[in-house]
Amino acid sequence: MKKTILAAAGLLGFAALCAAPINAQSGTPWLHVRVEEKKDTTKVSVNIPLSVVEAVLKASPEFFEKHGKIRIGNDHGLKLADMRKVWKELAAVGDAELVSVESDDENVKVMRKGDLVQVFVDNKRKAGKDGEKGGETVRVEVPTSLVDALLSGEGEEANVEAAIMELKKRRGDIVRVHDDDSHVRVWIDEQNTQVAAAAPSGK
Amino acid sequence: MKLAIILGVPVAMLATIASLGVVVVDVREGGPDGNRIVVPVPLVFAQVALALAPIAAPDHAMRVPEQALEHMDLAKEVLEALAAAPDGEYVRVEDHDELVVVAKEGRYFKVNVKNGTRENVSVNVPINLALQALPGRDGRIRTAALAGALSGVRFTNLVDVQDGKDHVRVWVW
């Protein structure tokens, strides 16, 4: 009897050890958005479980078409199919400066660096007398895996379902935007608040 | 014996009503001459009124407009996802003296708005009640289901508004 109890206890202990890492990885992913405005001292934090984001997208038929794909079309001169081809070719190149536009008013750079797509916009506009805003600097960083997932659809459809699956796996920053007035950070972790991660690690 | 019956019947009735739940609206005006108004409404009255509403009210009054009906599936999906989602602070807006926090705690959404030390508004929205408030596929508000869901919000502070020295509180006992 004693042997049976010991064996059962051992089995339970082994099962608990095996289950522990699984539990550690299966925490609920939360999508966090943090917006900080320098002038107004306004701070906005939004924390939403990804399951809720997924439910919203799935339940919104005009946004999320059948099988989780969004039709983008040519409304803004943007062909997703072409973007997909270019992205595929760029993936083979590896780290590279994808776009570089320099003008008197604005410099724009799009780069692929490691697992990030970086967009830099430097607007050189001078502040107007009527309160018109001066130039601004925008920095956006998006993981390449997210772009891969979005472009994994066919034709003129972005695969949002795949993007959400990718987001579920991902932990860390998704998008960062810095400009002169504000700082926006979108990231995913398993915490239900931003208390520990509130301070944006600016560039 | 007669006295016992005369006293016992109303006490028993009050106890029965109280055991079924009471919605209490408590308004306290600030200042030395401030009034205090307490209105207890037995929950069963509200439930009966809701259950009888489809008979008394005209049909169009019990229906959600067509335009709103288009979004009801989305609202239901979102509310169901929120009901199943873990607790946490969903939204926080800090602006000078103002603080707005929307959090999910168990079966409730808690909305808290603070404006300095003067204003403090706290609203608890029972998620199940919000789900039951959604109309059916035919666009009719399901008052009977709503009445049933009311009993699930007992012992809850629904609204608490502190404005200066004035205080309004609505809770279900």
- Please give the sequence-ordered ranges of beta strands (E in DSSP) within chain A, or none if there are none: 30-37, 42-49, 69-71, 96-102, 106-113, 116-123, 137-143, 157-159, 172-178, 182-189
Look-up of token digits 């989305």:
B74
Cβ proximity of A72 and A159 under 8 Å: no
Which residue of chain B is at minimal alpha-carbon distance from A49?
B85
Backbone angles phi, psi at A105, to 5 degrees: -90, -30
Question: Considering the entire predicted model, what is its pTM?
Answer: 0.71
Lowest mean pLDDT among A136-150, B8-22, B85-99: B8-22
Closest alpha carbon to B78 in B144, B122, B127: B127
pLDDT (tens digit per residue) in B117-152: 889 999 999 998 888 888 888 888 888 888 888 878
Radius of gyration of chain A (CA): 22
The Cα B133–Cα B125 span in angstroms is 12
Supply the angle between the helices A50-59 and A160-169 in degrees, to the nearest 10: 170
Partners of residue A51 in chain B, C-beta under 8 Å: 81, 84-85
pLDDT of residue B104: 94
> Which amino acid is it at A201?
S
Q: Are B111 and B161 in contact (CB under 8 A)?
A: no
A46's tokens: 């939004």
Q: Is A60 touching B (CB cutoff 8 A)?
A: yes
Locate B30 and state its tokens: 């600030």
pLDDT tens digits along A36-84: 987 778 899 999 999 888 888 777 656 555 545 555 555 545 577 777 8
Say if the Cβ atoms of A52 and B78 lie within 8 Å: yes
ipTM: 0.74
Residue A161 contacts residue A6 (beta carbons within 8 Å): no
Which chain A residues are closer than 8 Å to B93 by Cβ?
42-45
- Out of A28, A45, A55, whose CB is closest to B92? A45
Q: So what's the pLDDT on residue B30?
A: 85
Structure tokens at B122: 């706290």
pLDDT at A197: 54
Which site among B76, B91, B110, B127 would you substitute to test the A interface, given the most A Cβ atoms closer than 10 Å to its Cβ? B91
Closest residue on chain A to B93 (Cα): A44
State how far Cα A42 lies from the chain centre.
23
Question: pLDDT value at position A68?
Answer: 53
Q: What is the rounded CA–CA span in Å between residue B27 and residue B10?
A: 27
Q: A163-199, pLDDT tens digit by residue?
A: 888 888 888 888 888 777 788 899 999 988 876 554 4
Name which of B118, B76, B122 is nearest B103 in CA terms: B122
- The 8-class DSSP code of residue B151 comes to G
Q: How far apart are CA B65 and CA B79, in angstroms?
A: 20
Contact list, A30 vs chain B (CB under 8 Å): 88
B30-55, pLDDT tens digit by residue?
888 889 999 998 888 888 888 888 88
Residue A202 CA to residue A200 CA, distance in Å, equals 6
Inter-chain touch A52–B91, beta carbons under 8 Å: no
Tokens of B167: 């205080």
Whole-number Å distance between alpha carbons of A18 and A15: 5
With a cut of 70, say whether residue A26 has pLDDT above it: no
For all residues of chain B together, what is the average pLDDT? 86
Q: Cα(B88)–Cα(B103) distance, rounded to whole angstroms?
A: 6
**Chain A residue closest to B87 (CA)?**
A192
Sign (positive or negative) of CA dihedral A74, A75, A78, A81 = negative
Confidence tier at B112 by pLDDT (50, 70, 90): very high
Residue among A46, A24, A70, A5 at smallest CA distance from A187:
A46
With beta carbons less than 8 A apart as the criterion, state whether A137 and A118 touch. Answer: no
pLDDT band at residue A139 under the 50/70/90 scheme: confident
Q: Are B21 and B43 a contacting pair, CB within 8 Å?
A: yes
Beta carbons of B82 and A60 less than 8 Å apart: no
